[in-house]
């Protein structure tokens, strides 16, 4: 794989990850762009001990453009997109409308004596999986999935080294039901300057389990229990298992986890990276076959926090959908949205069986 970093017209970084070692990436970005926006605000919510990003500039981001105006397709002689090249394999670039960035913003201060304010430092990147606008992650070849994984490993390592970054989150949103505003197959990477609520809760649970069990890894123990039970396992290979969690929140939710407890994507070895693609592609095809239509989903990599103590994290991919039937969606209404208490309509064992039957 060949890695080439270039600068876009407004100074943002773009990185080509090419599968050919002789690829040449010298074409300039010929657009006339305004400077990137300043950093968003972070405001502290003292009632729940959480940070909220206020990113007003994102109101002007591109929303469901027609195919011939897609900013993630390669450039052509007649139209310049976010990617200057006329073709590409995998591309990562700084988001033009970031929620978090390393550019100057409002200085730290207070909105009230209880609500602190500070710049939303960090970084947001876009990951384009393919130049083919009409593809999806599930239609990629295993070799391309491996290239995407290499790009995510590269970016996780780089972003983890930025000052103030506490968590690197790689994810893909798919489907307008999820809130996708660009149809081109792509994902995103957020480098947060704080621990997100779910990461903090998982880290606290892992620490508590380690203290009770003499240092055992909580996720590794949960994974072993799921593999032993078997009734929620969807598929597996030598290095990975895909299973529906016993306490799944979503109608269809699957975790893909490596058998070896590595903290993050860079920690995967070559055999684990090779084995991931075939199993994940198999799962995505099953999900699309559930209702004989493309399934809206969120695919979220849970990595150990940047500064977590060794041995607490266990990398895993959480894939879930809000679709609970061919003609019904799972809405986050009163209990879920206001109180954070999920109510699942489909028993996890039933969801696992439905996915197993689609082999």
pLDDT tens digits, 62-88 = 889 999 999 999 999 999 999 999 999
DSSP annotation string for 266-322: GG--HHHHHHHHHHHHHHHHHHHHTTTSPPPEEEEEE---TTPPTTS---EEEEEES
Looking at 20-34, 101-115, 289-303, which range is the least confident one? 20-34
Domains 2-194 and 198-356 share a fold: yes
Q: Say if residue 355's pLDDT is above 80.
A: yes
In this prediction, residue 210 has a pLDDT band, given cuts at 50, 70 and 90, of very high
pLDDT higher for 133 or 27? Answer: 133
Identify the CATH number of the domain defined by range 198-356: 3.30.428.10
pLDDT score of 305: 98
- 186 part of the active site: yes
Sheet holding 233-236, edge to edge: 2-7, 13-18, 90-94, 123-128, 186-192, 167-174, 297-302, 316-321, 252-258, 240-243, 233-236
Query: What does the mean pLDDT of the chain come to?
Result: 97
Q: Are strands 252-258 and 233-236 parallel, antiparallel or unpaired?
A: unpaired
DSSP-derived secondary structure letter, 325: E
Q: How far apart are CA 5 and CA 162, in angstroms?
A: 17
Buried b (16+ CB within 10 A) or exposed e, 117-145: bbbbbbbbbbbbbbbeeeebbbbbeeebb
pLDDT score for 60: 87
Catalytic residue among 186, 209, 302, 316: 186
pTM of the model: 0.97
Percent of the chain with pLDDT over 90: 97
* Ranges of each domain in the chain: 2-194, 198-356
Query: What is the mean pLDDT of the segment spanning 103-128?
Result: 96
CA distances from 10 to 38, 57, 81, 295 (A): 13, 16, 13, 36
Neighbouring residues of 135: CB distance < 8 A, sequence distance ≥ 6: 129, 185
User: Which CATH number is 2-194 given?
Assistant: 3.30.428.10
**What phi and psi, each to the nearest 5 degrees, are found at residue 40?**
-70, 175
Q: Are 348 and 356 in contact (CB under 8 A)?
A: no
pLDDT at residue 27 tops 90: no
- pLDDT of res. 179: 93
How far apart (Å, rounded) are the C-alpha atoms in residues 136 and 301? 18
Alpha-carbon distances, residue 348 vs 178, 250, 255, 299, 353 (angstroms): 21, 9, 12, 18, 9
Res 117 pLDDT > 80:
yes
310 Cβ neighbours under 8 A, 6+ residues apart: 263
pLDDT at res. 359: 86
Counting Cα atoms < 13 Å in the Cβ hemisphere of 196 gives 13
How confident is the model over 289-318, as pLDDT tens digits? 999 999 999 999 999 999 999 999 999 999
Is residue 116 classed exposed, middle or buried when 0-12, 13-18 and 19+ CB atoms within 10 A define those classes? middle
Mean pLDDT of 44-51: 98
| For helices 348-356 and 270-289, angle between their N-to-C axes, nearest 10 degrees | 100
Residue 13: what pLDDT? 97
């Amino acid at each position: 794989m060949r890695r080439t970093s270039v600068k876009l017209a407004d100074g943002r970084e773009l990185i080509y990850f090419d599968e050919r070692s002789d690829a040449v990436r010298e074409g300039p970005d010929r657009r006339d762009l305004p400077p990137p926006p300043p950093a968003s605000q972070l405001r502290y919510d003292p009632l729940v001990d959480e940070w909220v990003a206020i990113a007003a500039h994102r109101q002007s981001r591109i929303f469901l453009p027609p195919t011939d105006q897609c900013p993630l397709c390669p450039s052509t002689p007649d139209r310049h997109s976010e990617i200057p090249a006329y073709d590409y394999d995998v591309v990562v670039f700084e988001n033009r409308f970031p929620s978090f960035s390393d550019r100057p913003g409002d200085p730290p201060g207070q909105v009230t004596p209880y609500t602190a304010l500070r710049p939303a430092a960090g970084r947001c990147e876009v990951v384009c999986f393919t130049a083919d606008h009409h593809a999806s992650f599930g239609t990629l070849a295993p070799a391309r999935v491996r290239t995407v994984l290499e790009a995510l490993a590269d970016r996780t390592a780089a972003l983890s080294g930025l000052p103030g970054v506490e968590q690197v989150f790689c994810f893909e949103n798919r489907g307008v039901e999820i809130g996708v505003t660009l149809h081109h197959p792509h994902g995103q990477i957020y480098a947060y300057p704080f621990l997100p609520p779910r990461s903090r809760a998982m880290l606290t649970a892992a620490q508590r389990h380690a203290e009770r069990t003499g240092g055992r890894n909580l996720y590794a123990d949960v994974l072993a229990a799921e593999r032993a039970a078997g009734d929620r396992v969807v598929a597996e290979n030598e290095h990975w298992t895909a299973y529906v969690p016993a306490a799944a929140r979503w109608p269809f939710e699957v975790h893909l986890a490596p058998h070896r407890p590595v903290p993050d994507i860079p920690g995967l070895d070559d055999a684990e990276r090779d084995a991931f693609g075939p199993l994940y592609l198999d799962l995505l095809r099953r999900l699309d076959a559930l209702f004989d239509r493309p399934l809206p989903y969120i695919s979220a990599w849970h990595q150990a926090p940047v500064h977590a103590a060794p041995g607490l994290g266990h990398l895993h991919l959480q894939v879930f959908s809000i679709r609970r039937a061919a003609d019904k969606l799972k809405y986050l209404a009163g209990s879920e949205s206001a109180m954070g208490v999920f109510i699942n309509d489909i028993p996890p064992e039933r969801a696992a069986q439905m996915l197993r039957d689609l082999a």
